[in-house]
Structure 1
Amino acid sequence: MRRLSALLAAFALAACHRAPEHVSVTHAWVRLAAVPGQPSAAYFAMEDVRTDMRLVKVESALAQRAELHESMKTMAGMGEMKPLASVDLPAGGKIAFAPGGRHVMLFGLDPLVKPGTAVPLRFGFSDGSTTEAEAKTVAAGDDAPY
């Protein structure tokens, strides 16, 4: 009986971490920092066709740390960034992480990452599920690839 309970618990735990089949990530790309050693920024589009989701983290094997951020203008017209704890992705909805708006700051990006390097990104959701995408990399002054 204990063995059956342990097996069922293992299956339930594994199911919690499966990729949500209804979430797609497209147009993922990274703009490298203009100054080596400074944070780079990742952008992407995400769509969910079936259920409400909440994006709570992004990770990369090539970065020491990644944070969700949003750029905005102050009333004085100055630009500033604020960290985001999460971003809602409504059922049937799309969200965009794009220059001048939401983005992912990649801190401690591997110095071997150069323009053209594929950067793996893992997106984590509040239900414990994850999905992955590869981001194209461009230099600081280059145009977005999409």
Structure 2
Amino acid sequence: MRIVFGLGVAAMALASCSQPKELSVDGAWVRLGAVTGRPAAAYFTVHGGPAPATLISVTTDVAIKAEMHETMDKGGMSTMAPIAKVEIPANTDVSFAPSGRHVMLFSMNSGIKPGDRVMLTFAFADGTRILNNANVVAAGTPAGK
């Protein structure tokens, strides 16, 4: 009985010594444009680390230009506008998802097809860079597929 109790106490002590959550990105995917030559869109989740961070850009080598955008509802009409930065509060998840924040990828390499993976580079104001592979899906594919 004492051994079991001792192991439980040791496990709790180790759990309390775990490393703090780090700034990271996951779940990245790119939806191709419905028409060849039209922009693609990238979606992902940024997980805030122990300190606040500011996302200032997301780029890829397979697009000529990338811009962070936000979709908003104005008087029943959906509009989209570029955003220069996104604040990532400490220990908070910030999603880029359809009908919300996203990254527009202009002039994508025409060789990129559904099923491919593309590298995205996330740049933060403090100089941090995070690389993350994104799955490529066809236009019209539901979110997260």
Q: TM-score, normalised by structure 2?
A: 0.83
Kept in 2, the 8 Å contact 1:42–1:105? The answer is yes
Partners of 1:74 and 1:142 in 2: how far apart? 26
Per-residue deviation, 1:144 = 2.4
* Equivalence map 1:37-116=2 (5 Å): 37-75=37-75, 77-116=76-115
SS of the equivalent of 1:55 reads: strand
Q: TM-score, normalised by structure 1?
A: 0.82
SS of the equivalent of 1:46 reads: strand
Per-residue deviation, 1:56 = 0.3
Match of 1:134 in 2: 133
Which structure has the greater CA radius of gyration?
2
Structure 1: state its 5+ residue gaps: 1-20
Give the superposed CA RMSD: 1.2
Structure 1 segments, 4+ long, off by >4 Å, are: none
Partners of 1:111 and 1:145 in 2: how far apart? 22
SS of the equivalent of 1:28 reads: strand
Partners of 2:23 and 2:126 in 1: how far apart? 13
Query: When the two structures are aligned, how many residues end up with a matched partner?
Result: 125
Per-residue deviation, 1:49 = 2.4
Match of 1:144 in 2: 143
Letter in structure 2 aligned against 1:74: K
Per-residue deviation, 1:141 = 1.6
Per-residue deviation, 1:119 = 1.1
Partners of 1:23 and 1:116 in 2: how far apart? 27
Per-residue deviation, 1:24 = 1.3
Partners of 2:112 and 2:138 in 1: how far apart? 10
